[in-house]
A and B are shown apart, each in its own frame.
Chain A
């Protein structure tokens, strides 16, 4: 069975519509109720007051003609009908005799009046043949009910007023509902349209199109969601681009040695190589290229592992200066060969908690580069210092040819080479700095580069010391 489902717009609109209709009808009934109640109550209060005022002129004894005339005069002037009733029959005085007479007041009313209470009546009164709002005020001479004031006004006039109000009220209410419903529809659309666009864009992205952007028309939740969606789409597009670039790079890097291997081996197989000496030379070349490929694959694996974030570092407390010195020892022959002087300025007290092999790899990669790009007679300076309680700084600067400023931000990206011409022949895979950056990142450190073309390059590594690590 397929469930009938509503769209968000329908849901929002329906909720709003229901809300509006319920509120309007409720307010209608409420106002109607209060109007009627307040108005009728007010009329009742006025009548009671008037009746009591009239009754206050009665001072006991039989009702005199003079008093009756006064009341008649007042009745002519008053908006309410005022009856002065003193006929005991009308006052239900003969009730126990079961007289077949429709008295103005019944037994219940009489009991109340005898207690001096005012009786109120709302509704149809047979005696007057119409709906009335009336009050009955007793005229008591001690305990004798000498008479009553019966004050009433026809109820029709009250209802006329309420209906008049209803005539004005209902069209306004309808217009109001209509406007609110349209506004509600517009608002629901406004909320839902960006969502619909997001949906379309998401489908496009699923098909590999990352270019479409959602227009942002508001700064509310939906607007922010659209913004986040755009950022996400951009990030995915970039990642996709990087992936493509990476694959292109990898295939490019592998293609060169492969073509060497293929070319030389074909030459040998086809007997182009005639001397044993040449053959030896070709096999050496094949071996060199195979090693390059091996290094490349090794570095790629290494980087993939490091980028996996879950790479387990074998962290132990290390005397940083010691690690540096141990690493530099291996370079002494190369330095002498290239006639490069090495100066160090290491603070021996700095202890870091790090993976020995990885830190060695970092120093190795950087020093390797420094030696590679520093001309004979140049200088490499290595400095290790404490910057504050928690961090230390390792500065490796050379007097090489430097790196152009615009290329600095790309250092550390995979397969990025400052000088594309000096490529593979010098043995680098183009992944060294990427690996370095990742290792520093895993050690919660920072890596940055300063360089001035023709003067040299400075690599700055900041790492948390053992103190800092503990405190964190």
Chain B
């Protein structure tokens, strides 16, 4: 009900605001930028990573849940399960360029590694939808209940959809547009990591009901069998692998842990309050602290906090946009 009222208000505001296109502070194309999607107030925070400072903040004031950066490096796609469309903003101009009618329920969007497709996790249709970069829907693949996390292989030909409300992970063949494999995973799983060379699939989660997930489940990419469980309390939900190791973020205890190839914990750090997202640079990690509205900069090698920046209300996703040369 509350959400419905909020939605009505937002739609009303949208109608009012729709009369003239709002222009935000443009983000220069050449600037290396960290984009933070803040879901409590529907804003975007841009950090200038060259000068280590907050560059600007866009108050979109819409119920956005996440963003995805298109390969051109200047188009940012925004989505939210309460929005009936995805919005494409031009960062360099600070304007809304296009909107694609998708219907409600989009909770995640990723660009394929080959740069040809967009994949949407749609919780209303319980499907993964495949779009072209121009906004044309190329296909829809039914998966389990409430798909949330989307992972892909290096070539972008396989999509791994983690279903939140069903203990199943659906593997999709993009070419054939269908589910080719199902892997049993714990219920309420979220976040994951594909290690193609090691043929490993790491899956995190919140835990079902009162039970709290404290382990990372490692599966075989080939057989779908559970290989190992790594203790990482509580609620590990975000993973990144860099040359310094594998990093797992547990939001229940606000812990970041670092692992080596042998699943051994080589370091840990308590950071922020209820952090949900990470992004990796060359030597550093950026971590979004959801409850304290901060972004931490952490040294990957030594797991030490280097810096922190204020963000909008409720940072939920971090994206690094490399600086593009002006040509």
Contacts from A to B (Cβ < 8 Å):
62, 87-89, 93-94, 96-101, 110, 114, 142-145
Contacts and interface: CB of A to CB of B under 8 A. Distances in A.
25 contacts: A88-B212, A88-B234, A88-B251, A93-B235, A94-B206, A94-B235, A94-B251, A96-B65, A96-B290, A97-B190, A99-B164, A99-B206, A101-B209, A110-B291, A114-B273, A114-B291, A142-B273, A143-B273, A143-B289, A143-B292, A144-B270, A144-B291, A145-B273, A145-B274, A145-B291
Nearest to B233: A62
Interface of B: 39, 65, 81, 107, 148, 164-165, 188, 190, 206-207, 209-210, 212, 234-235, 251-254, 270, 272-274, 276, 289-292, 314, 316
Contact of B210 (A89, A93, A97, A142): A89
Nearest to B294: A143
A89 B274 contact: no
B253 A96 contact: no
Nearest to A111: B40
A114 B276 CA distance: 16
Most buried by A among B235, B289, B291: B291
Most buried by A among B107, B188, B190, B274: B274
A88 B164 CA distance: 18
B148 A97 contact: yes
A324 to B, nearest CB: 110
Contacts of B209: 101
Nearest to A113: B291
A53 to B, nearest CB: 24
B327 to A, nearest CB: 39
B314 A96 contact: yes
Contacts of B207: 89
A144 B273 contact: yes
Given A88-B252, A89-B212, A144-B291, A97 B273 contact: no
Given A88-B212, A143-B273, A96 B316 contact: yes
A100 B209 CA distance: 8
A113 to B, nearest CB: 10
A87 B107 CA distance: 25
Nearest to B291: A114
A97 B190 CA distance: 9
Contacts of A99: 164, 188, 206
Contacts of A145: 273-274, 291
A399 B276 CA distance: 137
A118 to B, nearest CB: 17
Given A62-B253, A144-B270, 17 more contacts: A87-B210, A87-B212, A89-B207, A93-B252, A93-B274, A96-B39, A96-B65, A96-B290, A97-B206, A101-B209, A114-B291, A142-B273, A143-B289, A144-B272, A144-B273, A144-B274, A145-B273
A143 B270 CA distance: 12
Nearest to A89: B212
A143 B210 contact: no
A89 B235 CA distance: 10
A259 B276 CA distance: 139
Contacts of A101: 209
Contacts of B290: 96
Nearest to B314: A96
B252 A96 contact: no
Nearest to B276: A96
Contacts of A96: 39, 65, 276, 290, 314, 316
A89 B212 CA distance: 8
Contacts of A98: 81, 107
Q: Nearest 9 pairs between A and B by C-beta?
A: A143-B292, A143-B273, A88-B252, A144-B273, A94-B206, A114-B291, A93-B274, A144-B254, A96-B316
Contacts of A93: 235, 251-252, 274
A102 to B, nearest CB: 10
Contacts of B188: 99
A131 B212 CA distance: 29
A143 B148 contact: no
A434 B190 CA distance: 127
B234 to A, nearest CB: 6
A397 B228 CA distance: 151
Contacts of B212: 87-89
A97 B164 contact: yes
Contacts of B292: 114, 143
B206 A89 contact: yes
A143 B272 contact: yes
Contacts of A114: 273, 291-292
Contacts of A87: 210, 212
A144 B271 CA distance: 9
B207 to A, nearest CB: 7
A101 B252 CA distance: 16
Nearest to B250: A88
Contacts of A62: 253
B239 to A, nearest CB: 16
Contacts of B272: 143-144
A376 B210 CA distance: 143
Contacts of A94: 206, 235, 251
A76 B206 CA distance: 32
Nearest to B290: A96
A93 B316 CA distance: 12
A98 B165 CA distance: 11
B230 to A, nearest CB: 19
Nearest to A114: B291
Nearest to B66: A96
Contacts of B65: 96
A141 B145 CA distance: 36
Most buried by B among A94, A97, A142, A144: A97
Given A87-B210, A144-B254, A100 B273 contact: no
Contacts of A100: 165
A114 B272 CA distance: 12
Nearest to A87: B212
A96 B207 CA distance: 15
Most buried by B among A96, A98, A114: A96
A87 B164 CA distance: 20
B120 to A, nearest CB: 16
